[in-house]
Amino acid sequence: MYDDTKPDTSGQEDLSLHISDQDAEEIDLSDIRPQDFLVLALFWVLAFVVFLQFFTRYVLNDSLGWTEEIARYLLIGVTFAGSVMAARKHSHIAVEFLYRWVPRPLRRVMQSVIDLITTGFFATLAWLSGQLATRTGGMMVSIDVPKSYVYWFVALCFAGMAIHSAINGIRHLTSGTSRLIDPEDFADEPRAID
């Protein structure tokens, strides 16, 4: 039988979502770097273009043809520039299940191998993206800008990811620790998807 009575919540605390002044003071923006503003700028330009596309198509019933292509390229820009930021913060997705079951010396070796593979992967993709950019001819359909600029931007982003990955690898090697090597030491830090 269906019971539609509300449970008694008089003795429970309020679990509604709100941000108090104390919570607002705990927000830490100290890890924001100048290069991160590129992601923010690209995001807001993308938001404006998508809004313009929506407004002209559904409100004015006369869409601007260039907005779809430009929104696609801006989304590529936000994605890859954001990946540079994720590489800098060392917050790309990692599988850490195996790390719990191996001894610490092996975790250090595994971390070094992963840092080498990641740096090599990003560097290889930067080189391949550069090769693709040199072979891409022609202009964008809606505006007179070479399509190769998109691939050059992606190549630069992969190069930035490779640089940050190498810096993180050197940092892990010199300090002898990381979130994956010693997760208990990093338990108090806010975690990214890691």
Stated length of the chain = 194
Q: How far apart are CA 57 and CA 161, in angstroms?
A: 37
Is 50 exceeded by the pLDDT of residue 193? no
**What are the residue ranges of helices labelled H in the chain?**
21-26, 36-54, 66-89, 104-135, 148-175
Amino acid at the residue 22? Q
The model's pLDDT over 37-96, given as tens digits with 9 standing for 90+, comes to: 999 999 999 999 999 999 999 888 888 888 899 999 999 999 999 999 999 988 877 777
